[in-house]
Amino acid sequence: MTNRAKLAVGGVVAGLILLLLLPSGAFWVALLVMVGVPVGVYLLLDPSQRKRLRRVSRKELHR
């Protein structure tokens, strides 16, 4: 697993932990962390890496 993938998974895990620990009003904060970190990591990719990621994802969907 690449460092960026580990960072994305870490963001989702951090969001889930925040969801459990914070009061119910902090749902949006946890959701922002769970969605925002993976999106941020995706945006940090080079255009060629994004293209390769989309190509691999499509191949896995068409099995």
Gap between the Cα atoms of 47 and 4, Å rounded:
15
Write the CB contacts of 31 (distance below 8 Å, at least 6 apart in sequence): 15, 19
Alpha helix stretches (DSSP H) within the chain: 3-21, 27-44, 47-61
* Structure confidence at residue 25 (pLDDT): 65
Taking the alpha carbons of 50, 56, 59, 63 in that order, is the dihedral positive or negative?
A: negative
- Residue 13 has which token pair? 């895990």
Summarised one tens digit per residue, pLDDT across range 24-57 is: 667 777 777 778 888 888 888 888 988 888 887 6
Q: What is the pTM of this model?
A: 0.51
